[in-house]
């Protein structure tokens, strides 16, 4: 969809002056957001790319490497068993050290538009990877957002992929080192949680959150509604997938989790935006809770999945 088409959609409003699109738009959000009217969205809820190379769309730097995403001769020969390889923290070259900065620059390319379209006092919940969450936080703060809190979604299942160092030395035939380094691993501890960054758009100086609630209908959080989905009003959230849910996107999140965040920060009839909609879980959650919604997604295959789920 071109920018003109996006503008025509974005200019449709309900009787309260809020966007009432209730649809997914096949478009890149960096371009498409420019057509959305300012102060028109109550909540931005998005599981953004983490920049760690989970898929092609998750490569957000300009540093190509022959061993990245299965492009080296050795990986091509090995086939699907060794298709992808992430970049180690130490990097394979000096250019790899620039990746965190480039992730910040990528976040900075859309953060000002997020701030512009959000209503004063509105919330932005951002799922961000543990490695670069601080870069996302800095980008949104530099754009003008206030960083309210970091929530932690505790995953029910998480694979522990840290390699045993003794096995490495065993394969090398270094039996002395194998024994010496028994119990040591290469990698990380089990990734049992994912950060959810909580930002707010500053409201008018000289007013309070209570004043903003009356003026714009947002600002405070609905603890009572939140507790319908989680056990306690904690910033550590335990909320898993329902039976049969999942498998529609590599980074899909539970529908119940998205519903909890929407119920926490918005009221019925308000508008939720997901600029990186993926398979549309945030939009489906908004629809179930009686909120208006719209989202952008650059990958056509996921747009079709989202449309089917919304039907």
Sequential DSSP letters for the chain: --HHHHHHHHT-B-TTS-B---EEEES-HHHHGGGSPTT-EEEEEEE---SS-SSGGG--SS---TTGGG-SHHHHHHGGGG---PPPTT-SSGGGGGHHHHHHHHHHHHHHHHHHHEEEEEEEEEE--TTTHHHHHHHHHHHT-EEEEEEEEEPS-----PEEHHHHHHHHT-HHHHHHTTT-EES-S---EEEEEEEE----TT--HHHHHHHHS-SS--HHHHTTTSSSS-SEEE--PPTT---SSTT---HHHHHHHHHHH--TT-EEEESS-TT-HHHHHHHHTT-EEEEEES-HHHHHHHHHHH-
Question: What pLDDT was estimated at residue 65?
Answer: 61
Q: Looking at 143, 170, 191, which one is the last position of a domain?
A: 191
Q: What is residue 53's predicted lDDT score, i.e. its pLDDT?
A: 60
pLDDT per residue as tens, the chain (311 positions)? 444 455 455 545 444 444 447 999 999 988 899 989 999 999 999 999 887 765 565 565 665 665 556 565 655 665 554 455 565 677 667 777 888 898 999 999 999 999 999 999 999 999 998 999 999 999 999 999 999 999 999 988 888 888 999 999 999 999 999 999 999 999 889 999 999 999 999 999 999 999 999 999 999 999 999 999 998 999 999 988 787 777 776 778 999 999 999 999 999 999 999 999 988 999 999 999 999 999 999 989 989 998 998 98
Same domain, 227 and 111: yes
Taking the C-alpha atoms of residue 278 and residue 190, their distance in angstroms, rounded to an integer, is 25
CA distance 259 to 263: 6
Task: Find, among 69, 54, 64, the residue nearest to 127 by Cα.
Answer: 54
Kindly state whether residue 70 falls inside one of the protein's structural domains. no
Residues 166 and 219 in one domain: no
Exposed e or buried b per residue across 159-194, where buried means at least 16 C-beta atoms within 10 angstroms of its C-beta: eeeeebbbeebeeeeeeeebeebeeeeeeeeeeebb
pLDDT of residue 18: 44
pLDDT (0 to 100) of residue 220: 97
Question: What is the structure's pLDDT at 1?
Answer: 42
**Shared-domain flag, residues 176 and 33:** no
pLDDT, residue 7, reads 47
Give pLDDT, residue 85. Answer: 56
Tell me what pLDDT residue 14 has.
Answer: 46
Confidence (pLDDT) at 98:
82
Distances (CA, A) of 308 to 65, 278, 284, 304: 37, 13, 10, 6
Same domain, 102 and 220: yes
Same domain, 164 and 253: no
If asked whether residues 25 and 168 sit together in one domain, one would say: no
In Å, how far are 122, 161, 189, 203 from 110, measured between CA atoms? 17, 33, 32, 20
Domain around 175: 157-191
N- to C-terminal Cα separation, the chain: 21
Q: Give domain status of residue 85, yes or no.
A: no
In a domain? residue 225: yes
Residues in the chain, how many?
A: 311
pLDDT of residue 2: 44
Residue 55: its pLDDT value, please?
57
For the domain that residue 104 is a member of, what is the CATH number? 3.40.50.150
Number of folded domains that form the chain: 2
């Amino acid at each position: 969809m071109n920018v003109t088409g996006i503008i025509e959609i974005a200019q449709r409003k309900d009787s309260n002056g809020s966007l009432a699109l209730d649809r997914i738009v096949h478009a890149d959000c960096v371009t498409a957001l420019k057509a959305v009217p300012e102060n028109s969205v109550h909540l931005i809820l998005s599981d953004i790319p983490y920049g760690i190379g989970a898929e092609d769309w998750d490569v957000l730097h300009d540093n190509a490497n022959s061993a990245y995403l299965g492009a080296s001769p050795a990986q091509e020969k090995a086939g699907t068993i060794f298709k992808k390889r992430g970049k180690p923290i130490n990097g394979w070259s000096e250019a790899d050290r620039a990746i965190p900065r480039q992730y910040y620059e990528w976040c900075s390319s859309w953060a000002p538009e997020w701030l512009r379209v959000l209503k004063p006092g509105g919330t932005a919940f951002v799922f961000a990877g543990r490695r670069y969450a601080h870069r996302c936080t800095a980008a949104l703060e530099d754009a003008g957002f206030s960083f309210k809190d970091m929530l932690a979604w505790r995953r029910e299942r998480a694979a522990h992929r840290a390699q045993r160092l003794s096995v490495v030395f065993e394969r090398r035939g270094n039996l002395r080192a194998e024994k010496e380094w028994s119990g040591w691993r290469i990698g990380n501890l089990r990734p049992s949680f994912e950060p959810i960054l909580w930002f707010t758009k500053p409201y008018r100086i000289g007013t309070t959150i209570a004043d903003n609630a009356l003026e714009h209908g947002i600002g405070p959080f609905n603890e009572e509604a939140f507790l319908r989905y989680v056990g306690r009003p904690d910033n550590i959230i335990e909320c898993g997938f329902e039976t049969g849910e999942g498998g529609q996107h590599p980074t899909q999140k539970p529908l119940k989790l998205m519903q909890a965040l929407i119920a926490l920060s918005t009221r019925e009839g308000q508008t939720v935006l997901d600029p990186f909609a993926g398979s549309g879980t945030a939009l489906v959650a908004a629809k179930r809770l009686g909120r208006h919604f719209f989202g952008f997604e650059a990958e056509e295959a996921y747009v079709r999945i989202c449309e089917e789920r919304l039907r």
